[in-house]
Amino acid sequence: MRPEKTDLRREAGQRTRDDLLAAALELLAQRGQEGVTLREITQKAGANVAAVSYHFGSLKALCDAAIEHALERYLDAQIRELEALAGSATLGDLAEAFARPMVSALAAGGRDLAVIRTVARVGIDPPEGWENLAGKFERARRHAVRVLAAHLPETDERELVFRVRCAAGMLNWLALAPIGAELGGEPAERVERMLIPVVAGAFQGAR
């Protein structure tokens, strides 16, 4: 087979794989893993059942790959924001960085929102393979705790970690709750103005 034909077949295969992941991600965001069928995914992706077997092996493996893709994409975005914080960052700065991937997704809609909703669903009910990304979860948490500790030196680390996890849980809830749908499509600046003080309050705690 000529090299150019091999390249075209490889590109077509990658497109099919990407389309299957995108379709699975959108359906997972809507209904969770228990509500997704192989037929729905293949119809949405314009692919056949054999393509799922070829690229992933099974429906479960496809869903697991889509979930891991969503989690990794979300965590990478959050880590970039947190790592960019200066040493003088305030709790408001921390809240803004921590929530920005969610804010951006709510404002953008489409696939970005599907990613966030998938992350939210698995955050409530972690799937197998969750531990594969434990290092990234820990990295994001460590950056957040570093800023919190500078502002709340009398609060022990265990409680600071608890506050970070609570803030993450609140964002997950927002992505799935009716109030999140109400914010969907609003300008990012408005979503930030409404959401950031709430997240900062969760970090601050009672004084």
Per-residue pLDDT reduced to its tens digit, 99-108: 998 888 888 7
Q: What is the pLDDT of residue 28?
A: 83
Buried b (16+ CB within 10 A) or exposed e, 93-112: bbbbbbbbbbbbbbbeeeeb
pTM value? 0.79
**Angle at Cα 50 formed by Cα 45 and Cα 54, nearest 5°?**
95
Q: What is the pLDDT of residue 142?
A: 93
- 141 Cβ neighbours under 8 A, 6+ residues apart: 161, 164, 165
| Helix axes of 91-108 and 157-176: crossing angle, nearest 10 degrees | 20
Q: What is the pLDDT of residue 92?
A: 93
Q: What is the pLDDT of residue 197?
A: 92
Q: What is the pLDDT of residue 93?
A: 94
Tell which wins on pLDDT, 121 or 163.
163
Whether residue 4 has pLDDT greater than 60: no
Per-residue pLDDT reduced to its tens digit, 140-184: 999 999 999 999 999 999 999 999 999 998 888 888 888 877 777
Q: What is the pLDDT of residue 83?
A: 93
Q: What is the pLDDT of residue 161?
A: 94
CA dist 6 and 179 (Å) reads 49
Q: What is the pLDDT of residue 1?
A: 52
Per-residue pLDDT reduced to its tens digit, 40-58: 999 998 888 888 899 889 8
Q: Which two tokens stand for residue 113?
A: 């929102």
Output the average pLDDT for the chain: 84
Residue pair 136/76 in contact (Cβ under 8 Å)? The answer is: yes
Residue pair 160/202 in contact (Cβ under 8 Å)? The answer is: no
Per-residue pLDDT reduced to its tens digit, 6-32: 666 777 778 889 899 888 888 887 777
Per-residue pLDDT reduced to its tens digit, 55-73: 889 888 888 888 888 888 8
Write the single-letter amino acid at 146. R
Surface-to-core class of residue 71, CB atoms within 10 Å of its CB (0-12 exposed, 13-18 middle, 19+ buried): buried
